[in-house]
């Protein structure tokens, strides 16, 4: 069990206990800290205390952080679209709503559980929670992922990812007219202080991130883009476009839903509301994946068509059909 101690300074006096802990322990989510406080793992001068208590200068805080419970993924019968498989690896076209692997507070219902359920042997790298997982997609982002079945394949694919010789391209629809029509977004990403589930662009610290994009079609309200990742940070595309004032359409975590509808003319508002009613998640799809096979050294290229929810929403918004075809992929 980790034990963390802190003496309250004069500047910190009067601050709520939970807020002070959030400032000093940004690695812990707000909900996690509140649970630790309520369960008695936080004391002030040796006494259990409530989250909203205003701390006093000179008081001693002790925070005990129990180790997370061990999770071993179990096989589950979950539908999974595998578009390629051989002895060394497989490529999955992941549906939106499916988490890639188990994690804190989520022990089942993931792609890893589904792979185990179909009897797939996975690389031991990353076990027990992430066996075979080379890269990830957000739960509500659909599209292509490569999964390693052997340790040799896993190391090769991970190396390609690090060296940027693995190519990943995304189709996305964002709010507004993106200018310039082709370019880069560079900005380090760090966890949001207000909500640890989200990322934000920061001027100091954080992890370097670079996103490249090309506009396929746009009007004053929407832009359709191809997006290429030069780095693979959590929520990178979503946070980067949010930082430019162009949230991904439908993205509830980054301002891409109802807040953007009201600024448009009445006729467009109806179409936007209808499209958002169809699309309950962000309009972001990993449509292209290319890498070198770890054993045969053959270059493999895969494309994935847009899922039905994105297609239906785009048609309501009168997006031209030719930009909904992901089989024609250009370099970004």
Task: Please check whether residue 129 is in contact with residue 115, taking contact to mean a CB–CB distance below 8 angstroms.
Answer: no
Task: Please check whether residue 8 is in contact with residue 20, taking contact to mean a CB–CB distance below 8 angstroms.
Answer: yes
Q: What are 305's two structure tokens?
A: 């068509």
Task: Please check whether residue 316 is in contact with residue 271, taking contact to mean a CB–CB distance below 8 angstroms.
Answer: yes
Q: How far apart are CA 298 and CA 291, in angstroms?
A: 8
Residue 201 φ then ψ, to 5°: -80, 130
Task: Please check whether residue 138 is in contact with residue 281, taking contact to mean a CB–CB distance below 8 angstroms.
Answer: no
Summarize the chain as % helix, strand, coil (round to 5). Answer: 25, 30, 50
Q: How far apart are CA 245 and CA 176, in angstroms?
A: 8
Residue among 224, 85, 76 nearest 146 (CA)? 85
Active centre residues (catalytic) = 138
Chain position carrying tokens 């010789």: 165
Beta-bridged to residue 16, according to DSSP, are: 54
């Amino acid at each position: 069990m980790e034990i963390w101690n802190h003496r309250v300074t004069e500047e910190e006096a009067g601050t709520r206990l939970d807020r002070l802990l959030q400032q000093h322990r940004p690695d812990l989510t707000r909900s996690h800290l509140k649970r630790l406080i309520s369960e008695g793992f936080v004391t002030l001068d040796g006494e259990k205390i409530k989250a909203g208590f205003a701390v006093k200068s000179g008081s001693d805080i002790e925070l005990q952080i129990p180790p997370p419970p061990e999770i071993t993924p179990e096989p589950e019968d979950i539908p999974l679209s595998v578009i390629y498989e051989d002895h060394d690896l497989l490529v999955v076209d992941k549906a939106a709503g499916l988490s890639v692997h188990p994690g804190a507070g989520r022990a089942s219902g993931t792609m890893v559980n589904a792979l185990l359920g179909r009897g797939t042997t996975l690389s031991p790298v990353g076990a027990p929670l992430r066996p075979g997982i080379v890269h990830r997609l957000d739960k509500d982002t659909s599209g292509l992922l490569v999964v390693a079945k052997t340790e040799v394949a896993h190391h090769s694919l991970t190396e390609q990812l690090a060296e940027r010789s693995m190519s990943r391209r995304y189709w996305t629809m964002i709010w507004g007219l993106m200018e310039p029509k082709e370019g880069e977004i560079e900005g380090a990403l760090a966890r949001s202080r207000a909500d640890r589930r989200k990322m934000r662009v920061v001027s100091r610290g954080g992890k370097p991130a670079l996103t490249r994009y090309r506009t396929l079609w746009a009007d004053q309200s929407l832009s359709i883009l191809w997006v290429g990742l030069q780095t693979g940070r959590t929520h990178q595309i979503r946070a980067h476009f949010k930082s430019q004032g162009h949230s991904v359409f439908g993205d509830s975590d980054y301002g891409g839903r109802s807040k953007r509808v009201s600024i448009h003319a009445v006729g467009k508002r109806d179409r936007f509301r209808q499209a958002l009613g169809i699309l309950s998640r962000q309009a972001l799809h990993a449509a292209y994946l290319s890498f070198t096979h770890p054993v045969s050294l053959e270059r493999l290229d895969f494309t994935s068509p847009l899922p039905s929810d994105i297609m239906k929403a785009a048609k309501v918004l009168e997006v031209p059909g030719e930009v909904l075809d992901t089989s024609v992929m250009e370099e970004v």
